[in-house]
Structure 1
Amino acid sequence: MLSSAIRLVCRHMRPNSKKNIKLYSVATQPLVVPDPDGTVQASPKLEKLYEEITSLNMIEVAQFSELLKVRLNLKDVPMGAVVSTSAAAQEEEEEVAQTVKTSFTVKLMKFDEKQKVALIKEVKNLLDGMNLVQAKKFVESAPAVVKTDIGKDEADKLKEALSKVGAECVID
């Protein structure tokens, strides 16, 4: 939140001001560099500021943001216009975009009443540890989750098997 505020502040400052030029150079430099053991050393002033900002509630954060906008004469910037400059953030966004869903859920939405008996038998055979009474209750409770956390192939096979006996299934 604070780094976004710093970027926002720096973006809207006048570059011809000496004070503002100094802020630009500070904002592009890392303020705190972690030690090799992972600890972070910061000045007492920064530590105090960090403690005060992290103790704010959401209403106070909104008020603080508005105060910065007014006092620093900042314009509202659309969220899409704020661009992350760190390479790590860009790599993380690319990884999220490339993630492939590997866990699926098969849901029984509804079924054909004429094939209810065949569906009950198929559910009993497909689901481990289910007897006919449980399978009947399960089928009648549609919509219901048949299986969760399964692979795409298994989900497709399960959906196909249930569809053959009059069930309408959805894979999420």
Structure 2
Amino acid sequence: MIEKLAEQLVNLTVKQVTDLANILKKKYGIEPSGLSLLSPGDNNSKNVEKKSEKEEKSIFNIILKSTGNSKLSVVKLVKEVTGKGLKESKDLVDNVPSVIKESVNKKDAEDFKNKFEQIGAEIELK
């Protein structure tokens, strides 16, 4: 019996899932969680996933968009942040936009961004 019920639930259409969710909420006071009852092809599930991805993003890539007026200071800071040599750092600065550092946690990414902005560079966190 349970297997048949599970099979029926898996084969529900988006409209049927919505109707089921409404019945559970109104009749039994059960409020389903957001993603569990949404069909993978449903636009709402994609929107919920995008929103939660933006809200929960904790790892960023630091992208240098512009050097501002003080290119030398930016090269020095890139060298300090990345641990690369002077030539590699200069190459990154010369080829903007360029990824300065990958997979940085949110706090460090914000700190790096602030450092670059203090010397006039434009940074994007993705």
SS of the counterpart of 1:104? strand
**Aligned-pair identity (%):** 20
Q: What per-residue deviation string (whole Å, max 9, x for no partner) do you get for residues 43-87 of structure 1?
A: xxxxxxxxxxxxxxxxxxxxxxxxxxxxxxxxxxxx9x6252479
- Name the Cα RMSD after superposition: 3.0
Unaligned 5+ runs, structure 1:
1-27, 33-78
Tell me which residue corresponds to 2:70.
115
Unaligned 5+ runs, structure 2:
25-31, 37-47
Q: What per-residue deviation string (whole Å, max 9, x for no partner) do you get for residues 148-168 of structure 1?
A: 211111010011111122210
Structure 1 stretches of 4+ moved >3 Å: 28-32, 94-99
Matched residue count = 94
TM-score, structure 1 length as denominator?
A: 0.46
**Aligned equivalents of 1:31, 1:123: Cα separation in 2:** 56
Greater relative contact order, per chain length (Cα 8 Å cut-off, separation 6+): 2
TM-score, structure 2 length as denominator?
A: 0.61
Task: Please tell me the residue identity of whatever aligns with 1:167.
Answer: A
Structure 2 vs 1, CA of residues 111 and 30 (structure 1 numbering), >3 Å: closer, same or farther? same
> Is 2:45 the counterpart of 1:103?
no
**Aligned equivalents of 1:136, 1:150: Cα separation in 2:** 21
